[in-house]
Amino acid sequence: MMTGKVVLVTGGSRGIGKATARALVAAGAKVVITGRHQDAGDEAVADIGGEVHFVRSDVASEADIERSVAETVTRFGRLDAAFNNAGIGEIAGPLHKLDADTFESMFDVNVKGTWLCMKHEVRQFLKQTEAGRGRGGAIVNCSSILGHQAIAGSGHYTATKHAIEGYTKVGALDYAKDGIRINAVAPAVIEDGRLGAGKAPQVFKDYLLAKHPLGRFGVGKDVAGAVMFLLSDHASFITGASLQVDGGYMIE
């Protein structure tokens, strides 16, 4: 499915990113993961095994993103696909209680970070095409069910995920003629993700669990499977889509 492909996974040292990197390596891909903490990255590389490399990088920094793409190419010779997974979030309360500092940090990482990743990944895909080294590429952005609807108290986070959905659609239109496909995954609550593994009150987690018809939260490998499908040639006629990985949460 991914044999020989070179894939960049941001936020790949834990949670969904790490699960996806593990699945990609198991499927024969060469993977570069990024994250802000060297120790966590080194531990992830040792745990995943195989052809995986860590680059310390903050997606809010354009220089870091550009360097991550460059190191991927230096290490493995090219870039075929990317999963833009890095993000932050919290359920912080009603809009009038939210603060500007949290707005700036969340939009810097989730929105600006995703756009900058797409920018430099696409540039590398186009460079490879111009050099006669294949055509196109595939990108998956990590959205959320909150890119499609809302939960009270999640103002900044919900806004960032709606923005990611928008960038995904625009990117898909901008680069379809170049053979570059851009899609998103939209998970519900993931047990080993930020909310599922976080410190939210149990009563709130119970409320969320009841909204998943399959009767459980997802796990990282549930999202990993969807990401791998969208990055693979099996999804060659899919672009601009947002695949819900939600245990039925969005059924209405």
Is the Cβ–Cβ distance between 218 and 247 less than 8 Å? yes
Q: What is the Cα–Cα distance from 96 to 214, expressed in whole angstroms?
A: 35
Q: Is 240 helix (H, G, I), strand (E, B) or coil?
A: coil
Catalytic residue among 157, 167, 175, 249: 157
C-alpha dihedral over 37, 38, 41, 46, to 10 degrees? -150
Element (DSSP H or E) covering residue 68: helix 62-76
Neighbouring-strand partners of residue 184: 141, 242
Please, how many CA atoms are within 13 Å of residue 233, restricted to the half-sphere of its CB?
A: 6
Is the Cβ–Cβ distance between 56 and 35 less than 8 Å? yes
Is residue 167 part of the annotated active site? The answer reads no
Residues with a known catalytic role: 157
